[in-house]
Amino acid sequence: MKFQFVHNNINVVNLEASLQFYTNALGLTEHHRKVQPDGSFILVYLEDETSGHLLELTWLRDWEKDHYNLGDNEFHLAFEVDDFDAAYEKHKEMGCICFENKAMGIYFIADPDGYWLEIIPGRRN
């Protein structure tokens, strides 16, 4: 029996703001979406250019709060980037860097809902 990662899901309050963030900050593009016929939810699946792994953004029409409770926010997704310095400058300009660990050579950005995304340099030979 063999299992393979397919996608991760996060719930978002403002789907358009999240789509704009993930497109601008990480270069993700829409792979496909599912819209519930009654309009109660929309699922948008985003992809990068190479991995095949999808990020599912879930928007719920009847969500009544202005945010999701992320608890201690000890979970995150990690993205490897081929030009770490350029990515850092872009995210610095966007104002979305929320934590840096210079000793480890990584940093985190936060999306519009407060989810943390780890940015790591591309693998070195």
Active-site annotation holder among 47, 56, 100, 118: 118
Alpha-carbon gap, residue 119 to 106, rounded angstroms: 6
Alpha-carbon gap, residue 60 to 85, rounded angstroms: 36
Alpha-carbon gap, residue 45 to 53, rounded angstroms: 10
Alpha-carbon gap, residue 118 to 111, rounded angstroms: 11
Active site residue 118: yes
Please name the residue that has the structure tokens 């993930």: 22
Which residues have a catalytic role annotated? 118
